[in-house]
């Protein structure tokens, strides 16, 4: 997700939608430390990192997103099994004949976890004052942008109805209307008042140092306690709106313990010891865990290829900071912005070896920006290039790009050796292994790759500062709508990491350039959302996939199969690659 991440890093923002419980928790590795009070129904889910904030519009970490999937909800949600849009805080909706307006009807009697009414006013406030506020740097604003660059108009109709309108037909409007809501009675004054430094108080609201009882929830759970570096504990929200078929309160599981366990290796150890209730199974762990399945009292579910991606990317940003210092060394920037360089690298990566060795054959090579399960997927037969391993072709492509060989060393046209730093986060072993192989494969092409394995938070800081050269990363999946990747692919998107433009609230940058092919992708996304007929949308997104594979801002690698081990004591699991094991968490039960 941002990986699976995930997350998000892109995947990140789209995961904040109220579909969030289905998507955000579906891929979250989990665990359970038993409460001494066995009468309390509980499970524990593990997270790789502490949350960075409890203020969801400001979230830029997939790991924080898992938290929001538990405590927040929106008007609509995505079914984790079918991908269909379902009611959530809104019980129904109607779409106007011209396809430009949605009227949503809120459920009666909704309340926040502090007992205050949750109303249409909260909906209007969340959209107009927060997500659509230019002074708030939130990626949610990107996914709400329509094809013509405008944003929805959100209005109160009456005490139960709210209208969301756009200036032209916009295919993702309904799905993207499911963003998580915020309590107006908590946040309204923070958008009007400033602190001693002149910053809106909104930016300091609900930080990780906030007392749990001050964080108001609309989802099935609320925060009970937080011990940094150790765990988050959630308890059932007594005002959660859902009931079961017999009218009993949901969720059935009353307590969630989220352990902070920084590596998947340590998570597996905890799972095998019996402390954890579920675990996202990596290929290297599958043979061992499969042997222990029956004895260990768990089931390994297989949902097919992961909905996210794993990729290698180069920083194409030619801009400078406000002091005139380039984000990327100009010499290396020339290499990275050379299309033939990126294509040569792609041909030089032995992805089949990655699949066989790193993923133990339990993975899928990716050759497109969209998932093979997507109805909009386009492959080689549709004209989308694939870069199968071919060292000779890789070297010739580099030569075609103006590079030369000085013995075994690849140099540029000025004789500079090709050398750069490759970042990868330490928390995921398979990703580190892929980065190591990339360094080896590119070494065989005459490049010197300095591999830096660092914590995810360090990677994130480098990405946000635009000060990185190459990165083995990924994005989370889970939304069937192609436009869910808009904030990654649009040149002005908040997650357009390979050429990150200006972001509200950050220091200004100088000399930022948008390439012609980025503008072409912008135009294709704009055309795609204006067409509501999926059959007519398919060729638009096929062209997008073709351009993306020709230009290679992301060189796709191998993605794992979605495998998750879940204790048999957790009952009612309906597993899928889209939603994972816990997309219907509020309906699950635990046999103690």
- Return d(Cα 480, Cα 376) in angstroms, integer: 9
- Return d(Cα 350, Cα 437) in angstroms, integer: 8
- Is the pLDDT at 6 greater than 70? The verdict is no
Give the chain's mean pLDDT: 89
What is the pLDDT at residue 282? 82
What is the pLDDT at residue 557? 97
Give percent above pLDDT 90 in the chain.
Answer: 69
Q: How many helices and strands, by DSSP H and E, does the chain display?
A: 18, 23
Q: DSSP letters of 378-393?
A: --GGGT-------HHH
What is the pLDDT at residue 63? 61
Question: What would the mean pLDDT of 160-170 be, rounded to a whole number?
Answer: 94
Banded pLDDT at 463 (limits 50, 70, 90): very high
Banded pLDDT at 19 (limits 50, 70, 90): very low
Instruction: Name the pairing type of β-strands 404-406 and 570-571.
Output: unpaired
Q: pLDDT of 29-54, one tens digit each?
A: 333 344 444 456 999 889 988 898 99
Instruction: Name the pairing type of β-strands 448-454 and 419-425.
Output: parallel
More confident residue, 45 or 26: 45
Q: To which H or E segment does residue 411 belong?
A: strand 409-411
Check if the beta carbon of residue 73 is closer than 8 Å to that of residue 18: yes
- Is the pLDDT at 15 greater than 50? The verdict is no
- Return d(Cα 299, Cα 283) in angstroms, integer: 16
Task: Work out the angle at residue 319's Cα, subtended by the Cα atoms of residues 315 and 322, and round it to the nearest 5 degrees.
Answer: 130
- Is the pLDDT at 55 greater than 60? The verdict is yes
- Is the pLDDT at 11 greater than 90? The verdict is no
- Is the pLDDT at 17 greater than 80? The verdict is no
Check if the beta carbon of residue 475 is closer than 8 Å to that of residue 576: no
What is the pLDDT at residue 175? 81
Phi, psi of 463 (to 5 degrees): -65, -45
- Return d(Cα 548, Cα 313) in angstroms, integer: 12
Burial of 455 (0-12, 13-18, 19+ CB in 10 A): middle
What is the pLDDT at residue 64? 66
Burial of 238 (0-12, 13-18, 19+ CB in 10 A): exposed
Task: Work out the angle at residue 86's Cα, subtended by the Cα atoms of residues 279 and 149, and round it to the nearest 5 degrees.
Answer: 100
Check if the beta carbon of residue 347 is closer than 8 Å to that of residue 393: yes
Tokens of 216: 């108001």
Q: pLDDT of 224-260, one tens digit each?
A: 999 999 999 999 999 999 999 999 999 999 999 999 9
Q: What is the dihedral of CA 516, 147, 532, 121, to 10 degrees?
A: 150
- Return d(Cα 71, Cα 240) in angstroms, integer: 10
Number of CB atoms found within 10 A of residue 250's CB: 17
Task: Work out the angle at residue 296's Cα, subtended by the Cα atoms of residues 574 and 355, and round it to the nearest 5 degrees.
Answer: 70
What is the pLDDT at residue 360? 87
Check if the beta carbon of residue 328 is closer than 8 Å to that of residue 317: yes
Banded pLDDT at 171 (limits 50, 70, 90): confident
Tokens of 406: 């000085």
Q: pLDDT of 283-320, one tens digit each?
A: 788 999 999 999 999 999 998 888 889 999 999 999 99
Tokens of 556: 């796709």
* 479 CB-side CA count, 13 A: 33
- Is the pLDDT at 457 greater than 50? The verdict is yes
Give percent above pLDDT 70 in the chain.
Answer: 92
Question: Which residues are CB-contacts of 294 (< 8 A; sequence separation ≥ 6)?
Answer: none
Question: What would the mean pLDDT of 189-218 be, rounded to a whole number?
Answer: 93
- Nearest to 52, CA basis, from 180, 205, 258, 208: 208
- Return d(Cα 444, Cα 451) in angstroms, integer: 15
DSSP class of residue 34 equals: P
What is the pLDDT at residue 305? 83
DSSP strands (E only) in 306-396: 309-314, 363-365
- Is the pLDDT at 181 greater than 90? The verdict is yes
What is the pLDDT at residue 308? 84
Q: Which one of 361-375, 382-396, 486-500 scores highest in mean pLDDT? A: 382-396
Q: pLDDT of 306-355, one tens digit each?
A: 888 999 999 999 999 999 999 999 999 999 999 999 999 999 999 999 99
Lowest mean pLDDT among 207-211, 236-240, 576-580: 576-580
Helix axes 339-347, 534-551, angle to 10 degrees: 90
What SS3 class is residue 190?
helix
Banded pLDDT at 478 (limits 50, 70, 90): low
Question: What would the mean pLDDT of 541-553 be, rounded to a whole number?
Answer: 98
Question: What would the mean pLDDT of 512-519 be, rounded to a whole number?
Answer: 98
* 460 CB-side CA count, 13 A: 22
What is the pLDDT at residue 205? 94
Q: pLDDT of 409-447, one tens digit each?
A: 999 999 999 999 999 999 888 899 999 999 999 999 999
What SS3 class is residue 57?
helix
Q: Looking at the DSSP assignment, which residues form a beta bridge with residue 411? A: 404, 417
- Largest Cα–Cα separation, the chain: 76
- Return d(Cα 43, Cα 55) in angstroms, integer: 24
- Return d(Cα 579, Cα 205) in angstroms, integer: 30
Q: pLDDT of 80-114, one tens digit each?
A: 887 788 999 999 999 998 889 999 999 999 999 99
């Amino acid at each position: 997700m941002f990986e699976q991440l995930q997350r998000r890093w892109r995947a990140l923002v789209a995961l904040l939608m109220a579909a969030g419980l289905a998507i955000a928790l579906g891929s979250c590795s989990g665990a359970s430390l038993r409460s001494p009070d066995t009468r309390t129904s509980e499970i524990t889910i593990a997270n790789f990192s502490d949350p960075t904030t409890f203020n969801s519009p400001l979230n830029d970490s997939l790991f924080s997103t898992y938290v929001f999937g538990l405590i927040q909800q929106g008007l609509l949600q995505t079914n984790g099994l079918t991908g269909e849009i379902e009611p959530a805080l809104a019980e129904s909706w109607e779409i106007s004949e011209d396809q430009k307006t949605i009227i949503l009807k809120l459920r009666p009697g909704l309340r926040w976890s502090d007992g205050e009414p949750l109303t249409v006013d909260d909906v209007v406030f969340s959209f107009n004052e927060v997500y659509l506020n230019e002074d708030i740097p939130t990626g949610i604003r990107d996914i709400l942008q329509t094809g013509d660059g405008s944003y929805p108009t959100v209005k109160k109709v009456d005490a139960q109805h709210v209208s969301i309108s756009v200036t032209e037909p916009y295919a993702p409007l309904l799905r993207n209307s499911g963003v998580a809501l915020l309590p107006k009675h908590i946040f309204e004054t923070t958008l009007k008042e400033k602190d001693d430094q002149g910053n809106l108080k909104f930016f300091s609201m609900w930080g990780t140092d906030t007392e749990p009882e001050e964080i108001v929830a609309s989802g099935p759970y609320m925060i009970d306690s937080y011990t940094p570096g150790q765990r988050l504990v959630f308890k059932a929200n007594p005002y959660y709106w859902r009931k079961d078929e017999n009218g009993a309160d949901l969720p059935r599981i009353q307590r969630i313990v989220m352990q902070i366990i920084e590596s998947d290796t340590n998570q597996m150890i905890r799972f095998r010891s019996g402390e954890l209730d579920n675990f996202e199974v990596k290929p290297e762990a599958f043979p061992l865990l499969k042997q222990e399945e029956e004895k260990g009292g768990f089931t390994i579910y297989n949902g097919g290829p992961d909905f996210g991606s794993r990729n290698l990317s180069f920083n194409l940003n030619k801009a400078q900071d406000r002091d005139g210092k380039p984000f990327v060394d100009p010499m290396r920037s020339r290499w990275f912005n050379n299309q033939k360089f990126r294509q040569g690298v792609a041909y030089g990566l032995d992805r089949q070896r990655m699949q066989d060795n790193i993923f133990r054959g339990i993975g899928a090579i990716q050759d497109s920006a969209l998932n093979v399960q997507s109805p909009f997927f386009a492959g080689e037969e549709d004209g989308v290039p694939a870069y199968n391993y071919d060292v000779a072709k890789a070297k010739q492509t580099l030569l075609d790009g103006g590079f030369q060989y000085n013995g075994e060393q690849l140099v540029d046209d000025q004789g500079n050796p090709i050398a750069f730093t490759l970042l990868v986060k330490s928390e995921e072993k398979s990703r580190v292994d892929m980065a190591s192989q990339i360094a080896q494969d590119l070494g065989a092409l005459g490049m010197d790759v300095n591999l830096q394995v660092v914590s995810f938070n360090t990677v994130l800081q480098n990405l946000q500062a635009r000060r990185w050269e190459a990165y083995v990363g990924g994005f989370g999946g889970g939304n069937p709508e192609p436009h869910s990747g808009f904030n990654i692919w649009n040149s002005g998107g908040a997650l357009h990491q390979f050429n990150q433009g200006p972001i509200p609230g950050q220091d200004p940058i100088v000399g930022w350039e948008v390439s012609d092919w980025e503008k072409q992708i912008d135009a294709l996304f704009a055309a795609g959302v204006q067409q509501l007929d999926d059959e007519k949308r398919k060729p638009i997104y096929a062209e997008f996939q073709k351009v993306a594979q020709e230009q290679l801002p992301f060189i796709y690698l191998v993605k794992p199969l979605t495998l998750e081990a879940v204790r048999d004591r957790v009952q009612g699991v309906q597993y899928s690659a889209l939603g994972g094991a816990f997309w219907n968490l509020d309906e699950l039960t635990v046999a103690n």
